[in-house]
Chain A
Amino acid sequence: MQVQQIQPDESLGRGALEKALQRLRKSVWVFHLNTGSCNGCDIEILDVLTPWFDVERFGIKLVASPRHADVILLTGPITIKTLPRLIKALRGVPRPRLVLAIGSCAVGGNIWFESYSTIGGFPRIMDTLHELGITIDKIVFIPGCPARPEAIIYGVAVLLGLVEQKSQYKRVKA
């Protein structure tokens, strides 16, 4: 099993990503992209805006076009019909491009990992995007089916560098 890793992109100069992220400490603008999900994670994203979780206290808001967005919220296992439109939308996001893959569908394909009609999660098209010249500067994967609103807030905090992630690769002997 080969595990993919993104190499840090030096095309904009050393440390450019860190400098850009420092300016984005809190008030990121997000764009919601649904690539064929069941809507469970999507209504949890909308739920994060409602009074009980209220992510607007951090200054985060939903925008109408990918050109205005800092972070893309991606849900769904990427069906083959949405792939061209996904690429078009990602091209329109200005650098630095940050992506939050929300839900088990976007992270690993969930139950649809071998269906004829889906690509099977965001990691499987990262190579294709690289070939097309669309560089993704930082990605955070948020598992969950559906991903809880609190888990999404935690994921945003990890993306912006406000907390250290808890998940670590572990190998134990039986």
Chain B
Amino acid sequence: MKESYNVVKNDELSSLYNYLSNLKAPPPTIEEDLVKIIIRRENLREVIEYLSKCDGIFLRTMMASDERKVEGFFKLYYVFGLDKHHKNIVIEVPISEEDPVVPSIVDIVKAIDWYEREAQDLMGIKFSEKIPHKFVLPDDWPENVHPLRKDYTIQDLSKLYKPRVVAHAKEVEAEAVVVVPIGPYHPALHEPEYFELYVRGEKVVDTRYVGFMVHRGIEKLGESMKYDQVPFLAERICGICGFVHSTSYCQAIERALKINVPERAEYIRSTILEIERIHSHLLWIGVAFHLLGYDTGFMHAWRIREQVMILAELLTGSRKTYGLNIVGGVRRDIDEDKVKKSLEVLDKVEKEVKNFIDIALSVPQVKTRLKGTGYLPKPDAIALSLVGPTTRGSGVPRDVRRDYPYAAYKYLDVEPITRSEGDNMARAEVRVEEVFQSIAILRQLLDKIPRGSIAIESWEAEPYKFGIGAVEAPRGEVIHVIITGTYSPYRWRVRAPTYQNLLAIPIMLRDGDLADAPVTIASIDPCFSCTDRAIVINIRSKKVEEVPLSFLSTKGLKLTR
């Protein structure tokens, strides 16, 4: 369905359409929320430069896809979003197999960095900026075996790699620099991640993060499962925000195949999403207090949270990993008694949280350690396309529930909650306010829930259709991109919020105290099971590069680069 240019009121959007139509490329497909264009890789840099100058544009994700059997090329899909116009702009770049080199755009769009490294590791696409080391896969993975290519099935790959247990200790001797490893098994962190903080005295000078401990091959697994089995896989991407991933996957398929979900199912999905948000924020508050040493706060926050978990079990059948979503609707209904019980529990939780937070945030050690630490300036938050409370705490009002409405949020008005200070306290306050906002939204939803069926009767799968599904998780924006196949997804791309937000950590840790590091790292609410990458960012020269351990041990290292 082509949108008529007369309907477009805004000049900006029409000048963008004009620019895209005048390129030496096939004309763009324009749908209600999507603009898609195929360009050649020679034109990539100039198109990206034009787009980066548009006001209010953010990078949402990038996907590399192996379509050699279908169209004879590899393809790169860059997905940008214009929040105020509720539009996605998708740039497709075909790449031939004989010469898989693409110009890198990391100097124009800083946020693309990790996506390029992932595409290199998993799909074998080379970028013009040389990236020496492996990130997703371990160092002893065989060369030239790229798991996401269609050449290998899951069973083939598990025979190709036999892990060599290498336990070697690395010794670092650097002048005036002491390395303090935190992780992978450290009591401050509950997940296996490994941060190396280079400190001088007590001030943090540099950071190195080695991740991908939790890489489990989800995208490749999804291609070998049927459509209705994948929501269960998606839910186990993260145990704290699992329902978000399964909803996002279902929405991507429904958008690609143009399936209309009944209204009652949309309301049920939004209800469970908000309940998940409340439990996740209360969990974060407890963990943050624990990291500050205020264990009383930890115990009280989790005591209040337990009632939400019991409510979730009553509504869905399991405390976590609800197993409620299928493509086209939900599996279980919410009847009158359950609605009444939910409202009772919500009233109780609201009163208790108000009471408790009032007391907890006035504790002197909590106040002084949260205020003024981990500062994230607003221009950085925009340049790196950060998402969620991390960016809302620095004054950037991005929220998927308002910018790209989905499920029952289409019928409600959700205003993003922001603070302008940009420190740890601001992010904590944003999360507390969001708990109260969620309770208010839940009351509206449970009041207006319409009658009807909870899932559509049946649906047909058509291959090679493109769809995007995005949901606002407690940590930020989750976006899934799907290309459908006959019985299972052809290509499935998952981008979780922590993937984007981890880029902010070196900026926030810069010139801070070592003791503030755990709370600052925790303040972006990292969920490493959603993420997993490795990168080194040198904060002094503001360059993104690889700094191997051996380099730091040579004498004469100048840290003021």
Contacts and interface: CB of A to CB of B under 8 A. Distances in A.
Contact of A111 (B163, B185, B233): B233
A116 interface: yes
B154 A83 contact: no
Interface string A61-88: 0101010000000001101111111011
B321 A117 contact: no
The B interface, classified by DSSP as helix, strand, loop or mixed, is loop
B92 to A, nearest CB: 27
Interface stretch (A4-12, A13-21, A39-47, A156-164): A39-47
Nearest to A132: B165
B299 A51 contact: yes
Interface string B133-167: 00001100000000100000011011011010111
Interface stretch (B186-194, B370-378, B454-462): B186-194
Task: Using C-beta atoms within 8 Å of the partner chain, give the interface range for chain A.
Answer: 35 or more
Interface in B203-244: 212-217, 220-221, 232-233, 236-240, 242
Contacts of A148: 319
A135 interface: no
Contacts of B242: 38, 40
Interface stretch (A29-37, A94-102, A166-174): A29-37
B306 interface: yes
Nearest to A146: B320
B529 A39 contact: yes
Contacts of B163: 80, 83, 119
A117 to B, nearest CB: 4
A146 B165 contact: no
B89 interface: no
A145 interface: yes
A36 B239 CA distance: 12
A87 B309 CA distance: 34
A116 B154 contact: yes
Contacts of B147: 116-117
Given A34-B190, A46-B190, A117 B215 contact: yes
B217 A112 contact: yes
A77 B165 contact: no
Contacts of B160: 116
A10 to B, nearest CB: 26
Contact of A82 (B184, B302, B319): B184
B238 A116 contact: no
Contacts of A132: 165
Given A83-B163, A84-B167, A41 B239 contact: yes
A117 B529 contact: no
B527 interface: yes
Nearest to B183: A85
A109 to B, nearest CB: 10
Contact of A115 (B154, B239, B283, B303): B154
A34 B306 CA distance: 23
Interface in B221-274: 221, 232-233, 236-240, 242
Nearest to A66: B185
A90 to B, nearest CB: 11
Contacts of A118: 216-217
B158 A51 contact: no
Nearest to A36: B214
B239 A116 contact: no
26 contacts: A34-B192, A38-B237, A38-B239, A40-B236, A40-B239, A42-B191, A43-B239, A43-B283, A43-B320, A51-B303, A52-B306, A64-B187, A76-B214, A80-B161, A81-B212, A83-B165, A84-B167, A87-B167, A110-B236, A114-B155, A115-B216, A115-B217, A116-B157, A116-B220, A117-B137, A117-B216
Q: Which 9 A-B pairs have the closest CB atoms?
A: A40-B239, A116-B157, A115-B217, A50-B302, A38-B239, A39-B239, A117-B217, A64-B187, A36-B214
Given A52-B306, A77-B216, A148-B319, 13 more contacts: A36-B215, A38-B239, A46-B190, A47-B306, A47-B309, A50-B303, A76-B214, A79-B213, A84-B165, A112-B217, A115-B217, A116-B147, A145-B236
